[in-house]
């Protein structure tokens, strides 16, 4: 086989294989314009795929006869701009994922699946010399052609196609004139929107307090890349700082990228950005259809839109003049993609800042331990807001020991009293419970049997409306059984409390006040969440019942009492990160209370009132609490002091996945390069069976990121060769949960 002497185009394709593919240019294609990041359409097996050019080489290792030609070069300009391309390359390498899949994930859906160009052009029609001189009567009785010619004579610079059709000129008429040589077509770019750095604001900013002024000055002083941790208690005015830092950025003619955890959950946030600025603000939310999203994407890419507010994947949006990146609620778990290309958008945001040489601001009241550690050791610049903005005070905590206490529907008398007083004073109450549904189990009162999900071996949650059992892990649902699956007794009773049941109970206990339940079940309908939130905003006394959806950034001015019915589950979970996540959730929920005027109260019910971590958290605050956890992690060599990766495997036949990981584990132990990397397991995952698949994992740990990366690289060809068809495997670098 003779290697090809022709120029070949290297293409990354959206397939799991971790390699690029070589293609020949087609016919007379000019190779000079084929730059990395450009979209191409290529034959792949029997299919045509859209891929991204990664390079052009003078020759290939494969013979000409093995190589196929590119079917089409798409677009004029690269869809993946140079900095985004570099980011994707880095991410594919670090997260051990196929570059083609990473690049595909970085593109809007339409560019991934359709070969139309995104470079919207508009056709302009103009008269030719002949068209200008010809007498209208020479067109005979063709009235419509005369009419078109007449209109174009009034517009010597031509008219855009939509304008002409809007004036009633049929495209067929224009084409006839074209054939006669009377008119010609020009392609214009879309009309460019412009925004002006001199006219950025639509409303005047708030006057910052001293701490805020200092924080803003720090951030604005950045010249090029720097990472900031803006650690500010809930309600300290972090968002106001983002707005003013963005103002500074826009005034230099640059764009800003704002990542938020779940835009659908906090419509308020996007609204605040749109209200503040006179420049185009794009929100990437789920109500956009693919076409609208592509349009916004193009405007951001070309610098016509000034600000992008979006979730995780917005990170990959090309922006011509990027000047600032903000990651709001940086500790939020939704920044980690949990399947397929498992990346952490917060970490990649920092990498993007580095590549584009722009500052990155990570904001949170409860920073992730990794982030806090980096801020304390000086790798990030640490800016602190210790007080609430305006007149608001931080809420007081009150712990209720519920050991041996008689509870009404899971609530202690003191709590019920507090709720009553709050409501009667015209304020709002939030009851937080992180379990949706009616009850976590439906149990046989005679023998203790309960139904497990047939696909997950996990108890099924009981729902009342509509009545069903529902597996929250795989979505399997079935009707409520009439009798026990073991002893046939008909005495099946819901045990424990979920949002639905709590809603019912509270409505009975407080008949005069509306109960508003906010969880995934009550917010599925479009706009449902916004409607619920609006009711709360109106400020009438009410009880809000909800899950962690309520923890995210909401601002309810009339809310003064927050109750957490059961904090214990989170304190004793098996996942080593569970304590950190529980504390973050608790502080965020607590932070919804007393945000305007009157001081708020947070009531916690627990069987563990003297739990040391709970004590530290409540008495000394999140920062001290985090210090204790960080010290604990240091002893264990866990992040941020060690680096982790999981090699996960699953199969419908349990033996296959565990045998595969056993083999990988032994092989890894024998690698000389293993020095400095520990291999633990394999062990069943925390959720050992999910959706009919048995799940196992092998954990790799090292004190050195580089050593871990080298071992993972070795692993991949070995895993690809030994997994076999029935085992699904994946690598999770820097996992955030172990389930």
**From CA 438, how far away is CA 456, in angstroms rounded?**
20
Question: Between 131 and 310, whose beta carbon lies closer to ligand ADP?
Answer: 310
Q: Which of 67, 474, 707, 716 binds Zn ion (CB under 5 A)?
A: 474
- Here the tokens at position 608 are 């563990």
Count, residues near Zn ion per rule CB under 5 A: 15
- Here the tokens at position 690 are 């999910």
Place of tokens 């991934």: 112
- Please state, in angstroms and as integers, the Cα–Cα distance from residue 408 to each residue in 198, 565, 628, 734, following that order: 60, 12, 36, 43
Should residue 234 be labelled a site residue for ligand ADP when binding is judged by CB under 6 A?
Answer: yes
Binding part of the chain for ligand ADP, among 38-46, 169-177, 204-212, 644-652 by CB under 6 A, reads 204-212
Question: Between 217 and 487, whose beta carbon lies closer to Zn ion?
Answer: 487
Should residue 389 be labelled a site residue for ligand ADP when binding is judged by CB under 6 A?
Answer: yes
| Contact map string, positions 235 to 274, toward ligand ADP, x by CB under 6 A | xxxxxx----------------------------------
- Here the tokens at position 172 are 């067929």
Q: Are 216 and 245 in contact (CB under 8 A)?
A: yes
Which residues, 6+ apart, have CB-to-CB distance to 133 below 8 Å?
Answer: none
- Here the tokens at position 603 are 């009531």
- Here the tokens at position 173 are 């008429």
Question: Between 390 and 410, whose beta carbon lies closer to ligand ADP?
Answer: 390
Should residue 484 be labelled a site residue for Zn ion when binding is judged by CB under 5 A?
Answer: yes
Should residue 212 be labelled a site residue for ligand ADP when binding is judged by CB under 6 A?
Answer: yes
Say if strands 307-310 and 255-259 run parallel, antiparallel, or are unpaired: parallel
**From CA 144, how far away is CA 171, in angstroms rounded?**
11
Question: Between 235 and 494, whose beta carbon lies closer to ligand ADP?
Answer: 235
**From CA 554, how far away is CA 535, in angstroms rounded?**
13
Question: Between 271 and 486, whose beta carbon lies closer to Zn ion?
Answer: 486
Distance in Å, CB of 233 to ligand ADP, minimum: 7
Q: Are 321 and 268 in contact (CB under 8 A)?
A: no
- Please state, in angstroms and as integers, the Cα–Cα distance from residue 118 to each residue in 40, 104, 322, 736, following that order: 13, 15, 20, 36
CB atoms within 10 A of CB 213: 13
Order the strands of the 72-73 sheet from edge to edge: 21-23, 8-12, 47-57, 39-44, 72-73
Question: Between 121 and 213, whose beta carbon lies closer to ligand ADP?
Answer: 213
**Among ligand ADP, Zn ion, none, partner that 701 touches (CB below 5 to 8 angstroms by kind):** none
Q: Which of 56, 67, 278, 447 binds Zn ion (CB under 5 A)?
A: 447
Q: Which of 160, 455, 692, 718 binds Zn ion (CB under 5 A)?
A: 455
Question: Between 475 and 726, whose beta carbon lies closer to Zn ion?
Answer: 475
**Among Zn ion, ligand ADP, none, partner that 709 touches (CB below 5 to 8 angstroms by kind):** none
Q: Which of 301, 473, 517, 552 binds Zn ion (CB under 5 A)?
A: 473
Question: Between 96 and 366, whose beta carbon lies closer to ligand ADP?
Answer: 366
Should residue 449 be labelled a site residue for Zn ion when binding is judged by CB under 5 A?
Answer: yes
Q: Which of 453, 561, 565, 731 binds Zn ion (CB under 5 A)?
A: 453
Minimal CA–CA distance to 295: which of 423, 516, 120? 120
Q: Which of 471, 561, 602, 711 binds Zn ion (CB under 5 A)?
A: 471
Order the strands of the 159-160 sheet from edge to edge: 159-160, 122-127, 183-188
**Among Zn ion, ligand ADP, none, partner that 232 touches (CB below 5 to 8 angstroms by kind):** ligand ADP
Binding part of the chain for Zn ion, among 39-47, 367-375, 436-444, 506-514 by CB under 5 A, reads 436-444
Binding part of the chain for ligand ADP, among 232-240, 284-292, 526-534, 576-584 by CB under 6 A, reads 232-240
**Among ligand ADP, Zn ion, none, partner that 354 touches (CB below 5 to 8 angstroms by kind):** none
Is the sign of the CA dihedral 318, 324, 328, 330 positive or negative?
positive
Q: Which of 253, 264, 390, 688 binds ligand ADP (CB under 6 A)?
A: 390
Max CA distance (Å), the chain: 102
**From CA 219, how far away is CA 363, in angstroms rounded?**
12
- Contact set for ligand ADP, span 420-479 (CB under 6 A): none
**From CA 255, how far away is CA 317, in angstroms rounded?**
12
**Among Zn ion, ligand ADP, none, partner that 351 touches (CB below 5 to 8 angstroms by kind):** none
**From CA 706, how far away is CA 689, in angstroms rounded?**
33
Binding part of the chain for Zn ion, among 96-104, 110-118, 302-310, 448-456 by CB under 5 A, reads 448-456
Should residue 232 be labelled a site residue for ligand ADP when binding is judged by CB under 6 A?
Answer: yes
- Contact set for Zn ion, span 485-524 (CB under 5 A): 486-487, 489
Should residue 503 be labelled a site residue for ligand ADP when binding is judged by CB under 6 A?
Answer: no
Place of tokens 């990473």: 102
**Among Zn ion, ligand ADP, none, partner that 489 touches (CB below 5 to 8 angstroms by kind):** Zn ion
Count, residues near ligand ADP per rule CB under 6 A: 16
Q: Which helix (H) or strand (E) holds 39?
A: strand 39-44
Question: Between 485 and 597, whose beta carbon lies closer to ligand ADP?
Answer: 597
Binding part of the chain for Zn ion, among 47-55, 182-190, 282-290, 465-473 by CB under 5 A, reads 465-473
Minimal CA–CA distance to 550: which of 239, 231, 240, 266? 266
Binding part of the chain for ligand ADP, among 44-52, 120-128, 233-241, 532-540 by CB under 6 A, reads 233-241
**From CA 184, how far away is CA 125, in angstroms rounded?**
6
Question: Between 333 and 596, whose beta carbon lies closer to ligand ADP?
Answer: 596
Distance in Å, CB of 725 to Zn ion, minimum: 24
**From CA 261, how far away is CA 731, in angstroms rounded?**
24
Distance in Å, CB of 458 to Zn ion, minimum: 6
Distance in Å, CB of 449 to Zn ion, minimum: 4
Which residues, 6+ apart, have CB-to-CB distance to 204 below 8 Å?
Answer: none
**What SS3 class is residue 499?**
helix
- Contact set for Zn ion, span 305-344 (CB under 5 A): none
Rg (C-alpha) for the chain, rounded Å, is 30
**What SS3 class is residue 384?**
strand
Should residue 209 be labelled a site residue for ligand ADP when binding is judged by CB under 6 A?
Answer: yes
**Among ligand ADP, Zn ion, none, partner that 447 touches (CB below 5 to 8 angstroms by kind):** Zn ion
Residues, the chain: 739
**From CA 549, how far away is CA 530, in angstroms rounded?**
13
**From CA 719, how far away is CA 575, in angstroms rounded?**
26
Q: Are 546 and 499 in contact (CB under 8 A)?
A: yes
Q: Are 700 and 712 in contact (CB under 8 A)?
A: yes
Question: Between 232 and 359, whose beta carbon lies closer to ligand ADP?
Answer: 232
Q: Which of 29, 123, 208, 474 binds ligand ADP (CB under 6 A)?
A: 208
| Contact map string, positions 517 to 556, toward ligand ADP, x by CB under 6 A | --------------------------------------x-
Query: What is the SS3 string spanning 224-279?
Result: CCCEEEEEECCCCCHHHHHHHHHHHHHHCCCEEEEECCCHHHCHHHHHHHHHHECC
Q: Which of 206, 425, 487, 636 binds ligand ADP (CB under 6 A)?
A: 206
**From CA 91, how far away is CA 100, in angstroms rounded?**
11
Which residues, 6+ apart, have CB-to-CB distance to 160 below 8 Å?
Answer: 122, 123, 124, 125, 188
Should residue 301 be labelled a site residue for ligand ADP when binding is judged by CB under 6 A?
Answer: no
Distance in Å, CB of 249 to ligand ADP, minimum: 17
Binding part of the chain for ligand ADP, among 230-238, 496-504, 624-632, 722-730 by CB under 6 A, reads 230-238
Should residue 444 be labelled a site residue for Zn ion when binding is judged by CB under 5 A?
Answer: yes
Distance in Å, CB of 205 to Zn ion, minimum: 50
| Interacting residue ranges for ligand ADP, rule: CB under 6 A | 206-209, 212, 232, 234-240, 389-390, 555
| Interacting residue ranges for Zn ion, rule: CB under 5 A | 444, 446-447, 449, 453, 455-456, 471, 473-474, 476, 484, 486-487, 489
């Amino acid at each position: 086989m003779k290697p090809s002497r022709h120029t070949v185009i290297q293409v990354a394709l959206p397939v799991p294989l971790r390699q690029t593919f070589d293609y020949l240019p087609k016919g007379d294609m000019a190779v000079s314009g084929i730059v990395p990041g450009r979209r191409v359409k290529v034959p792949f097996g029997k299919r045509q795929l859209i891929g991204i050019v990664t390079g052009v080489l003078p020759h290939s290792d494969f013979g000409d006869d093995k190589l196929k030609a590119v079917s089409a070069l798409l677009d004029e300009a690269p869809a993946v701009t140079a900095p985004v391309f570099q980011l994707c390359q880095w991410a594919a390498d670090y997260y051990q994922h196929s570059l083609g899949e990473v690049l595909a994930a970085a593109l809007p859906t339409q560019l991934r699946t359709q070969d139309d160009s995104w470079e919207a052009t508009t056709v302009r029609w103009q008269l030719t010399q002949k068209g200008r001189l010809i007498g209208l009567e020479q067109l005979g009785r063709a009235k419509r052609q005369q009419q078109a010619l007449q209109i174009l004579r009034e517009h010597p610079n031509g008219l855009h196609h939509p304008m002409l059709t809007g004036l009633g000129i049929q495209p067929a008429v224009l084409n006839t004139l074209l054939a006669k040589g009377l008119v010609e077509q020009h392609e214009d770019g879309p009309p460019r929107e412009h925004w002006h750095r001199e006219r950025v604001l639509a409303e005047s900013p708030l006057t910052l307090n001293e701490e805020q002024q200092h924080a803003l000055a720090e951030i604005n002083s950045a010249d090029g890349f720097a990472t900031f941790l803006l650690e500010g208690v809930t309600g300290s005015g972090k968002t106001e700082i983002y707005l003013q830092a963005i103002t500074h950025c826009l005034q230099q003619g640059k764009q800003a990228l704002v990542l938020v955890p779940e835009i659908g959950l906090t419509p308020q946030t996007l609204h605040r950005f749109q209200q503040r600025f006179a420049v185009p603000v794009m929100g990437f939310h789920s109500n956009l259809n693919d076409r609208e999203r592509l349009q916004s994407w193009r405007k951001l890419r070309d610098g016509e839109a000034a600000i992008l507010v979006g979730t995780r994947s917005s990170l990959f949006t090309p922006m011509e003049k990027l000047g600032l990146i903000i990651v709001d609620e940086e500790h939020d778990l939704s920044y980690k993609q949990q399947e397929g290309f498992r990346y952490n958008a917060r970490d990649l945001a920092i990498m993007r800042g580095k590549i584009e040489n722009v500052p990155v601001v990570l904001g949170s009241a409860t920073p992730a331990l990794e982030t806090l550690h980096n801020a304390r050791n000086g790798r990030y610049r640490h800016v602190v807001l210790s007080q609430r903005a305006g007149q608001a005070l931080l809420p007081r905590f009150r712990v209720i020991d519920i050991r041996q206490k008689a509870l009404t529907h899971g609530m202690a008398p003191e709590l019920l009293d507090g709720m009553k007083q709050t409501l009667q004073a015209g304020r709002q109450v939030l009851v937080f419970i992180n379990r949706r549904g009616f009850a976590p189990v439906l149990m046989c009162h005679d023998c203790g049997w309960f139904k497990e999900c047939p696909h997950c071996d996990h108890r099924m949650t009981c729902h009342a409306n509509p009545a069903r059992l529902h597996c929250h892990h795989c979505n399997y649902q079935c009707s409520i059984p009439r009798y026990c699956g073991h002893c046939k007794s008909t005495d099946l009773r819901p045990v424990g409390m979920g949002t639905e049941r709590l809603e019912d109970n509270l409505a009975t206990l407080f008949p005069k006040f509306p109960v508003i339940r906010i969880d995934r079940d009550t917010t599925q309908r479009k706009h449902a969440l916004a409607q619920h939130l609006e009711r709360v905003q109106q400020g009438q006394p009410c009880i809000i019942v909800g899950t962690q959806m309520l923890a995210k950034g909401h601002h309810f001015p009339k809310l003064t009492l927050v109750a957490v019915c059961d904090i214990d589950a989170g304190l004793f979970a098996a996942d080593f990160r569970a304590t950190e996540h529980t504390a973050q959730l608790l502080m965020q929920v607590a932070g919804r209370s007393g945000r305007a005027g009157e001081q708020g109260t947070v009531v916690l019910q627990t069987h563990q009132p003297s739990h040391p971590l709970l004590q530290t958290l409540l008495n000394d605050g999140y920062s001290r609490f985090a210090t204790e956890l960080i010290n604990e992690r240091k002893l264990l060599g866990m992040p941020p002091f060690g680096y982790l990766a999981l090699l996960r495997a699953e199969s419908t036949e349990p033996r296959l996945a565990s045998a595969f990981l056993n083999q990988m584990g032994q092989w890894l132990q024998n690698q000389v390069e293993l020095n400095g990397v520990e291999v633990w397991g394999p062990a069943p995952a925390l959720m050992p069976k999910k959706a009919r698949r048995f799940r196992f994992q092998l954990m790799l740990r090292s004190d050195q990121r580089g050593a871990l990366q080298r071992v993972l690289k070795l692993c991949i060809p070995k895993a690809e060769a030994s997994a076999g068809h029935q085992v699904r495997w994946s690598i999770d670098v820097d996992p955030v949960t172990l389930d």
